[in-house]
Amino acid sequence: MKVKIANSPRFKIDKQKRWLYCTTGLASYYFKGIKLPNCDIYHRNKLLGSVLHNTLTIYRGYAFDGMTHFPDTAANLPCALLHDFLYQTALISRLDADRALRSCMETNGADWRHIVYAGVRTFGWIFYGSEQNIRIIKA
């Protein structure tokens, strides 16, 4: 699987203090080697993102915590956004979400991707799919 950042995300500090970061615009990721369903993804009634033609778009206002237990950098933060979104929504399997993180980090030139991958494979089960009130409406 390969993941390419199609539209780079921009961030600000989350003013509600629930999470560390919040997106200020669209973030888009193109997936190759895995088929994503065309769909809209909601948390309660808020539209978080959508998938069309294997491109996942995460909308403005999505909040996340960055690289859990690892330093945030300009190269790995967009990948952490993707990974957190995939874990919270359970849009794809946990294994594929972890592979997407590693691929995104590789494509984006982030360091330590193999250590980060080992960490999410070992401890990620605690967080995967734990977000409540996620609805995926397939197109």
Any idea where the domains of the chain sit in the sequence?
Answer: 2-138
Match 């330590």 to its residue by tokens: 112
DSSP string, 56-112: EEE-TT-EE--STTS---TTTHHHHHHHHHHHHHT-S-HHHHHHHHHHHHHHTT-TT
Q: Is residue 94 scored above 90 in pLDDT?
A: yes
Nearest of 21, 19, 43, 126 to residue 91 by alpha carbon:
43
pTM: 0.93
Q: What is the Cα 124 distance to its own chain's centre? A: 13
Q: Quickly state the pLDDT bin for 15 (edges 50, 70, 90).
A: low
The more confidently predicted of residues 46 and 68 is 46
Q: Contact, 57 vs 7, CB < 8 A?
A: yes
